[in-house]
Amino acid sequence: MKILNLVFHPDLKSSRVNRSWKQVLEESSKVATSLDMYELYPDFPELPLNY
């Protein structure tokens, strides 16, 4: 089974814990894809949430 790792952190480069966690998961053989959602969608925090 492969894992899709979605990372949600507004400033991953300055986060020691989340950055390390992401790196360890990417280096493991279990993670198929690791995506930094704030990098992919820079306006993510401003997107409207329609519930």
Q: Can you give the pLDDT of all 51 residues of the chain as single tens digits?
A: 778 999 988 888 899 999 999 999 889 888 888 899 989 988 776 666 665
Burial 11-41 (b: 16+ CB within 10 A, else e): eeeeeeebbeebeeeeeeeeeeebebebeee
49 located within any domain: no
What pLDDT is stored for residue 47 in this prediction? 62
Q: What range defines the domain where residue 38 resides?
A: 3-44
Q: What are phi and psi of 35, to 5 degrees?
A: -120, 130
- How buried is 9 (Cβ within 10 angstroms: 0-12 exposed, 13-18 middle, 19+ buried)? middle
Q: Based on the structure, what is the number of domains in the chain?
A: 1
51 located within any domain: no
What is the DSSP code (8-state) at residue 38? H
What pLDDT is stored for residue 28 in this prediction? 85
pTM for the predicted model, two decimal places? 0.68
What pLDDT is stored for residue 44 in this prediction? 72
